[in-house]
Structure 1
Amino acid sequence: MGKFQIKVIGLKGDENIIDLCHSEKKMQTMTVLDAKKKIITKLNIKVDIRMVFTTEPLEESSQLQQYGIRHMSTIHVVARMPGGI
């Protein structure tokens, strides 16, 4: 497979396709933080965000594959509330 991409539902409900990487090996080792950095850059996000897959908040140190995230999975981006978890 060529590109590995995810669909991201942004802060305003907009859908975006984000290119994560170009190899299966890289996809297997990619962390949530790696993906978060790509999302922030591509969508020009200026606030602290959390990412959610299905109903589960994603921990930045975890690998995407631990959550079952693969090519064209949908991730939601939400603003982190000050003082919140």
Structure 2
Amino acid sequence: MMSLRGHGRVNSISSGWIDTHGNTYTGPDAYQHSSRRVVNPQDISSMVLFLCSFQASFINGENICIDGRMTKQMIYHEDTGWYFDK
């Protein structure tokens, strides 16, 4: 068995629905996220850069969820007859 202790860090990022087109979402598509918007590529890349930085050198073995808290909700507007009503 090989150990990478002191030589590398292993973390992961779990993202939700990522808007790669720069759209602005309103209504339930935006409001059902606690951040009131959809995840964009910059949200993910900012976390990647942070995890690669010295400031994150003590973070190891973590899964970072970047999804506007949708994992906690576990359902999207209009899925299986459910509608978000703010």
Q: TM-score, normalised by structure 1?
A: 0.25
Q: TM-score, normalised by structure 2?
A: 0.25
Instruction: Report the structure, 1 or 2, having the larger helix content.
Output: 2
